[in-house]
């Protein structure tokens, strides 16, 4: 019979992960794992754990993190790194944030989880209330309200649900079974689940290896050119996948024409168009003009094609706002003066504490979805109409909703008479622009651009992710470049000194790789 172990309380000087109650009852395998040295821990990880976008045959090196506070990450050897990535754009308040901790702790006293099928709870309703307000406040009177919410357990799943909603809506409106295709913009990225992968760029995207296995219901259109107003310095070489070699205005019109011609030809079979508003994230960190998004909205309305805005990366203030805006908006599409039919949210929604996604749409869309016949051929059935056929196990998780309420409340807390998110993002943008502009003089740099709380140095050749993590540790900053892109999306609470350290590290790495 396997023995069991009791782990005694650890000395206060031990690492946080080693602090266990004396009464904890542990299986021997857990005891063994907890007592491994750092090197043994890394060896076990290397042989058994997949990390994002890595191979277990030749895994990318990883760093052993112990704990995090504020914007600082602490490794097991005691070294410290400023987080320049907000844990993939999610941890906007940094780590160990008192208000967010308290929200989790308070909710734990009631329940950590309950199935959303057959139950509701206050955290889900409170979060819906504040999101509905932010999605619709200051919108023109003629806009339909985005006030129908579906909770998901991640951003990718939010995209899956949005696609289902679009397809099912058209089935419910005049029993239209022909609208079964989705339009997507080249250079886009929408997640790693199968449906989300199908609307990612099939040639230059992250999932090209699966191109032949993707569902054949997606039509791609040309990507818009970058908006030169967000470029820094004299360089005008363009970014990865740039389409403006013949001039930005001409390229913008060509992209619009490509979409318009497709809609004219095939609109009877097109259910929806999905894009990342204003910022194409993992597809190249490209910032494009609001004029393209505004024209997309007009064309989608004209041809009865739903517009899905994937705001998983751009939402909650990350993409910034125009200085001319009288009422800056939390979401890129709304800030551009565009209301989507369906909007997808994720990443920063919980302040990086827990995984949660959301889909918001209008009452008109939800009624169409709920009017969909049970079968495509309208065959007789005891079911009058088809419900929205999705129900994640952790849908509307109370812990996630509670911490998301706290995070959204922090965004709206007044600072000098303005919502906190506006003050933070404006300051970060100013610092990034000032600090990164000199990078345009580095010989190996092809482009430098800043928008909102996003700063990008694009090099002329790819960076080596087998080397960069260790160089980052030496520089005391955590960055996660991909391809030629060295970028930062810092936590909103990052101080100017921390931002200086992040941008200095970016400049140093750019110079060393020129």
Quote the number of domains for the chain.
Answer: 2
Q: Residue 485 in contact with residue 465, Cβ under 8 Å? A: no
Residue 2 burial (C-beta neighbours within 10 Å; 0-12, 13-18, 19+): exposed
Inside any domain, residue 178: yes
**Per mean pLDDT, which range of 224-228, 376-380, 384-388 is the poorest?**
376-380
Does residue 78 fall inside a structural domain?
no
Digit-coded pLDDT (tens) for 316-333? 999 999 888 888 999 999
Q: Residue holding tokens 């199935």? A: 115
Residue 445 and residue 401 in one domain: no
Query: What pLDDT, on a 0 to 100 scale, did the predictor assign at position 94?
Result: 98
243 with 107, same domain: the answer is yes
Confidence of residue 213 (pLDDT cuts 50, 70, 90): low
* Per-position b or e across 10-29, b if 16+ CB within 10 A of its CB: eeeeeeeeeebeeeeeeeee
**Is residue 354 included in any domain, yes or no?**
yes
Give the total residue count for the chain: 514
Verify that 148 and 279 share a domain, yes or no. yes
- For residue 167, with 0-12 CB atoms within 10 Å meaning exposed, 13-18 middle and 19 or more buried, which class applies? buried
pLDDT > 90: percent of the chain? 77
Q: Is residue 401 part of a domain?
A: yes
Give the CA distances from residue 74 to residues 17, 64, 79, 82, 479, in Å, rounded to whole numbers and listed in that order: 12, 9, 6, 9, 14
Residue 268 lies in a domain: yes
Q: Packing angle between helix 496-512 and helix 468-475, nearest 10 degrees?
A: 140
Instruction: Specify whether 340 is located in the same domain as 211.
Output: yes
**In the predicted model, is pLDDT for residue 236 greater than 60?**
no
- pTM confidence score: 0.92
Give yes or no: 53 in active site: yes
Residues 6+ apart with CB under 8 A from 58: none
Q: Check whether residue 309 and residue 289 sit in a common domain.
A: yes
pLDDT given at position 6: 39
Is residue 347 flagged as an active site residue?
A: yes
As given in the structure block, the two tokens for residue 208 are 């090209």
Same domain, residue pair 404 and 426? no
Residue 156 has pLDDT above 70, yes or no: yes
Q: Which residues is 184 bridged to in the sheet? A: 220, 274
Own/partner pairs, 103-108, CB within 8 angstroms, 24+ separation: 103/402, 103/403, 103/405, 103/406, 104/353, 104/399, 104/402, 104/403, 106/402, 107/398, 107/399, 107/402, 107/403, 108/399
Q: Using DSSP, state whether 484 is helix, strand or coil.
A: coil
Find the distance separating the first CA and the last CA of the chain, reported in whole Å.
Answer: 61
Cα–Cα nearest to 314, from 281, 358, 351: 281
**Which listed residue (53, 110, 175, 418) is catalytic?**
53
Domain-located, residue 431: yes
For 343, phi and psi rounded to 5 degrees? -125, 140
Distance between CA 330 and CA 157 in Å, rounded?
21
442's CB contacts (< 8 A; 6+ apart) are 507, 510, 511, 514
Q: For residue 504, is pLDDT > 80?
A: yes
Torsion sign over Cα 499, 502, 508, 514? negative
Q: What is the pLDDT of residue 382?
A: 55
Task: Give the C-alpha separation, 400 to 149, whole Å.
Answer: 15
Residues 356 and 426 reside in one and the same domain:
no
CATH number for 465? 3.90.1150.10
pLDDT given at position 3: 41
What DSSP character marks residue 445?
E
Asked if residue 126 and residue 194 are part of one domain, the reply reads yes
Residues 274 and 148 in one domain: yes
pLDDT digits (tens, 9 = 90+) for 398-436: 999 999 999 999 999 999 999 999 999 999 999 999 999
Q: Is the pLDDT of residue 18 over 90?
A: no
402: domain CATH number is 3.40.640.10
Residue 238 reports pLDDT greater than 80: no
Asked whether residue 433 is domain-assigned, the answer is yes
pLDDT of 453 higher than 60: yes
pLDDT in tens, 163-201: 999 999 998 886 678 899 999 999 999 998 888 988 988
Per-residue pLDDT at 378: 56
Same domain for 429 and 367: no
* Structural domain contains residue 90: no
Among residues 179, 347, 484, 501, the one annotated as catalytic is: 347
- How much is the pLDDT for 267? 96
Q: DSSP secondary structure string, 49-105?
A: ---TT--SSSPPP---EEEEEBTEEEETTS-EEEESSHHHHT-TT-BS-HHHHHHHH
Tell whether 469 and 344 lie within a shared domain. no
| pLDDT per position as a tens digit, 89-111 | 999 999 999 999 999 999 999 99
Residues 304 and 428 in one domain: no
Integer Cα distance of 511 and 439 in angstroms: 8
| Residue of 227, 310, 341, 447 marked active site | 310
What is the domain extent for residue 402?
Answer: 101-374+385-412
């Amino acid at each position: 019979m396997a023995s069991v172990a009791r782990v005694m309380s650890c000395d206060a000087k031990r690492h946080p992960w080693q602090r266990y109650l004396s009464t904890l009852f542990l299986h021997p395998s857990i005891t063994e794992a907890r007592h491994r040295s750092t090197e043994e821990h890394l060896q076990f990880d290397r042989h058994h754990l997949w990390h994002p976008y890595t191979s277990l045959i030749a895994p990318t090196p990883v760093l052993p993190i112990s704990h995090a506070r504020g914007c600082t990450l602490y490794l097991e050897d005691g070294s410290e790194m400023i987080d320049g990535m907000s844990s993939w754009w999610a941890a906007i308040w940094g780590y160990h944030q008192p208000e967010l901790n308290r929200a989790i702790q308070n909710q734990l006293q009631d329940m950590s989880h309950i199935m959303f099928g057959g139950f509701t709870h206050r955290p889900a309703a409170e979060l819906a209330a504040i999101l509905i307000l932010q999605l619709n406040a200051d919108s023109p009177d003629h806009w339909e309200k985005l006030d129908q919410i579906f909770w998901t357990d991640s951003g990718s799943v939010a995209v899956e649900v949005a696609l289902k909603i679009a397809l099912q809506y058209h089935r419910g409106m005049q029993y239209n079974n022909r609208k079964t295709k989705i339009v997507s913009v080249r250079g886009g990225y929408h997640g790693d689940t199968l449906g989300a992968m199908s609307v990612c760029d099939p040639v230059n995207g992250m999932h090209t290896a699966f191109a032949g296995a993707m569902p054949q219901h997606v039509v791609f259109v040309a990507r818009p050119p970058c908006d030169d107003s967000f470029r820094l310095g004299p360089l005008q070489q363009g970014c990865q996948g740039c389409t403006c070699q013949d001039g930005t205005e001409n390229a913008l019109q060509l992209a619009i024409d490509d979409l318009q011609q497709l809609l004219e030809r095939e609109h009877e079979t097109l259910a929806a168009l999905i894009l990342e508003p204003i910022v194409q994230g993992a597809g190249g960190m490209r910032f494009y003009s609001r004029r393209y998004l505004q024209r997309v909205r007009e064309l989608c309305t004209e041809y009865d094609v739903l517009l899905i805005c994937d705001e998983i990366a751009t939402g909650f203030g990350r993409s910034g706002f125009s200085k001319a805006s009288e009422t800056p908006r939390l979401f890129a599409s709304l800030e551009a003066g565009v209301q989507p039919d369906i909007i997808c949210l994720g990443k920063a929604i919980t302040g990086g504490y827990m995984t949660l996604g959301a889909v918001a749409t209008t009452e008109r869309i939800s009624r169409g979805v709920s009017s969909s016949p049970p079968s495509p051929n309208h065959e007789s059935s005891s079911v009058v109409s088809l419900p929205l056929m999705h129900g994640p196990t952790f849908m509307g998780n109370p812990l996630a909703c509670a911490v998301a309420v706290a995070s959204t409340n922090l965004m709206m807390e007044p600072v000098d008479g303005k919502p906190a998110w506006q003050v933070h993002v404006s300051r970060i943008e100013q610092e990034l622009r000032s600090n990164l502009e000199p990078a345009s003089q580095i010989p190996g740099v092809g482009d430098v651009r800043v928008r909102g709380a996003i700063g990008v140095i694009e090099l002329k050749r790819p960076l080596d992710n087998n080397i960069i993590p260790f160089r980052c540790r030496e520089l005391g900053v955590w960055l996660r470049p991909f391809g030629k892109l060295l970028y930062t999306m810092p936590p909103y609470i990052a101080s100017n000194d921390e931002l200086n350290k992040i941008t200095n590290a970016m400049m140093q790495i750019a110079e060393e790789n020129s």
